[in-house]
Homo-oligomer: A and B are copies of this chain.
Amino acid sequence: MSQTAYQAVVATFTRIYRYEHLGSLAGWDQAAMMPSKGNDARGAAMAELGVLIHNTLTDPALAELIKGAEAEDLSAAEQASLREIKRQWEHANLLPASLVEAKTLVGSHCSHEWRTQRQNNDWQGFLANFREVVRLSREEAQLLAKETGLSPYESLLNKYEPGMSCAELDRIFGDVKSWLPGLIRQAMEKQATEQVIAATGPFAVEKQRALGLDVMALLGFDFEGGRLDVSNHPFCGGVPEDVRITTRYREDDFMQSMMGIVHETGHARYEQSLPRETVALPVGRARSMGIHESQSLSFEMQLGRNPAFLALISPLVKKHLGDQPAFEAANLAKMYTRVHPDFIRVDADELTYPAHVILRYEIERALIDGEIEADDVPALWDEKMQAYLGVDTKGNFKNGCLQDIHWTDGAFGYFPSYTLGAMYAAQYFATIRKQQPDLDERIAAGDLAPIFNWLNANIWSQASQWETGELVRRATGEPLNPAHFRKHLEQRYLA
């Protein structure tokens, strides 16, 4: 029996999945295990794998096979699979190899120097490299825009959040901007008179790790299909069959490592629960960056900072870190919902975080669409930080526009995913609460099944079967609606 074109395409993408397995492992190891002298050889090996995958995706024979598959009589599931295959294939084929290579080189150089330049608050030094990154990212965006019919910035945004438009982002983020500053002010006023008991450290790394493992178990992490390790920047990596999450520990602060683990466990359960039959194919993978973030934020924000959940794990915190007044449930809830506008996005609280994201969205969009130049970024950054959060960043590049890695290698279009994820998560939980009005009582009693079952049925098991908008409509009965996010924040921070 001869193979159909569709079957041949599936075989090629299965091969690519296996190559990617090796790349994913190499990336995890580089961050979590590798000693410093291994870096050059690792970089060369990973680049070689990148070339191999790119060559596989741009092989003219594959283009013919995909064309052939499109002409075949495919089931609905196969059509969805081919749609996702084409998305990945097009992304690899729309850009000339010379541009991809130039952007990789310039981006890698800019990222590398940024680490030192940020330490030294050296905006001028950074700018020299950054102008090149912007130039090549614009070139990429314009080429993609020509093919896709989207705007240049939208074309980059769609790499991470397929189907999202600037019009929709403007609508959503415009809505948030209309109420967020007021909400932040009110929350801070309310918290001004609140007593929060600080936890007394140090907290030994081994004890924090044991607490983290207990929390992961409570959250359903499958330890036969994954691990917890340490890296400078926490992430969720590996492959769906073997998910590797990381955290970092500070002996003077247990809060970050614990909630970081909750966050990464959300990513991990999504990966661990993707349907195994299609896991090697694009249609069987996570839907988008925004949906991925909606899982980590369902865990971290909707569940993790919920007073009911903190009541549930308060005994675990006491068990591992010792009994102290700070670890009482009500105090933990106060610690994890403290609002404080500040410089750094990754350290921001739930309420001020969206302001950091919207600021970046507005700047990167103007940058890619050519409305501003790289040189204009610091002034605009300061203006928006003043307006949204009342924070003065003048001359403070280190804790201002030099704080994130994303732009250094040209990952423009990624930032919106964070706040889209927070909004999707709020919308999921509004739906879950309708089905399960006593959700908080269930959580406090340790019954997290209503949450996991809903996420599994509506998100995890669906993988990339549907476009993002359709996935969200099927799950919640309506398109993305920021009203749920607002209501969630008002209830948590003003009630």
Give chain A interface residues in 209-261, CB to chain B under 8 Å. 222-227, 238-239, 241-242
- Please give, as numbers and ranges, the residues of chain B lying within 8 Å of A45 by CB-CB distance: 18-19, 21-22
Contact of A34 among B38, B42, B242 (CB under 8 A): B242
- Please give, as numbers and ranges, the residues of chain B lying within 8 Å of A15 by CB-CB distance: 48
C-alpha gap A26/B40 in the complex (Å)? 18
Contact of A42 among B21, B47, B52, B222 (CB under 8 A): B21
- Please give, as numbers and ranges, the residues of chain B lying within 8 Å of A23 by CB-CB distance: 22
- Please give, as numbers and ranges, the residues of chain B lying within 8 Å of A225 by CB-CB distance: 35, 37-38
Residue of B nearest to A22 (CB): B22
- A22 CB → nearest B CB, Å: 4
- A277 CB → nearest B CB, Å: 13
Report if A41 contacts B (CB, 8 A). yes
Q: A22-B49, A45-B18 are in contact. Are A33 and B227 (CB under 8 A)?
A: yes
C-alpha gap A48/B52 in the complex (Å)? 13
Report if A90 contacts B (CB, 8 A). no
For chain A, give the interface size range: 20 to 34
Report if A36 contacts B (CB, 8 A). yes
Report if A29 contacts B (CB, 8 A). yes
Contact of A239 among B18, B38, B238, B239 (CB under 8 A): B38
Give chain A interface residues in 299-331, CB to chain B under 8 Å. none
Q: A15-B48, A52-B52 are in contact. Are A21 and B36 (CB under 8 A)?
A: no
Q: Mark A27-65, 1 if CB is under 8 A from B, else 0.
A: 001000111111011101101110010000000000000
Report if A25 contacts B (CB, 8 A). yes
- Please give, as numbers and ranges, the residues of chain B lying within 8 Å of A18 by CB-CB distance: 41, 44-45, 47-49
C-alpha gap A21/B223 in the complex (Å)? 27
Q: Are the CB atoms of B35 and A21 closer together than 8 Å?
A: no
- A46 CB → nearest B CB, Å: 8
- Please give, as numbers and ranges, the residues of chain B lying within 8 Å of A44 by CB-CB distance: 18, 21
Residue of B nearest to A44 (CB): B18
C-alpha gap A45/B279 in the complex (Å)? 13
Q: A22-B22, A29-B25 are in contact. Are A241 and B38 (CB under 8 A)?
A: yes
- A70 CB → nearest B CB, Å: 26
C-alpha gap A238/B41 in the complex (Å)? 11
Q: Mark A184-224, 1 if CB is under 8 A from B, else 0.
A: 00000000000000000000000000000000000000111
Residue of B nearest to A47 (CB): B18
- Please give, as numbers and ranges, the residues of chain B lying within 8 Å of A33 by CB-CB distance: 33, 227
- Please give, as numbers and ranges, the residues of chain B lying within 8 Å of A22 by CB-CB distance: 22-23, 25-26, 45, 49
- A36 CB → nearest B CB, Å: 5
- Please give, as numbers and ranges, the residues of chain B lying within 8 Å of A35 by CB-CB distance: 223-227, 242
- Please give, as numbers and ranges, the residues of chain B lying within 8 Å of A42 by CB-CB distance: 21, 241-242
C-alpha gap A241/B238 in the complex (Å)? 23
- Please give, as numbers and ranges, the residues of chain B lying within 8 Å of A29 by CB-CB distance: 25, 29
C-alpha gap A25/B41 in the complex (Å)? 12
C-alpha gap A42/B225 in the complex (Å)? 12
Q: Are the CB atoms of B21 and A224 closer together than 8 Å?
A: no
Q: Are the CB atoms of B36 and A48 closer together than 8 Å?
A: no
C-alpha gap A52/B37 in the complex (Å)? 27
- Please give, as numbers and ranges, the residues of chain B lying within 8 Å of A223 by CB-CB distance: 35
C-alpha gap A436/B45 in the complex (Å)? 42
Contact of A25 among B25, B238, B241 (CB under 8 A): B25
- A56 CB → nearest B CB, Å: 10
- Please give, as numbers and ranges, the residues of chain B lying within 8 Å of A47 by CB-CB distance: 18
Q: Are the CB atoms of A242 and B21 closer together than 8 Å?
A: no
C-alpha gap A226/B47 in the complex (Å)? 21
- Please give, as numbers and ranges, the residues of chain B lying within 8 Å of A227 by CB-CB distance: 33, 35
C-alpha gap A48/B48 in the complex (Å)? 15
20 interchain pairs (CB within 8 A)? A18-B44, A18-B48, A19-B45, A19-B49, A21-B42, A21-B44, A21-B45, A22-B26, A22-B45, A34-B242, A35-B224, A35-B225, A35-B227, A37-B222, A37-B224, A38-B225, A38-B239, A40-B241, A41-B242, A42-B242
Residues of A whose CB lies within 8 Å of any CB of B are 15, 18-19, 21-23, 25-26, 29, 33-38, 40-42, 44-45, 47-49, 52, 222-227, 238-239, 241-242
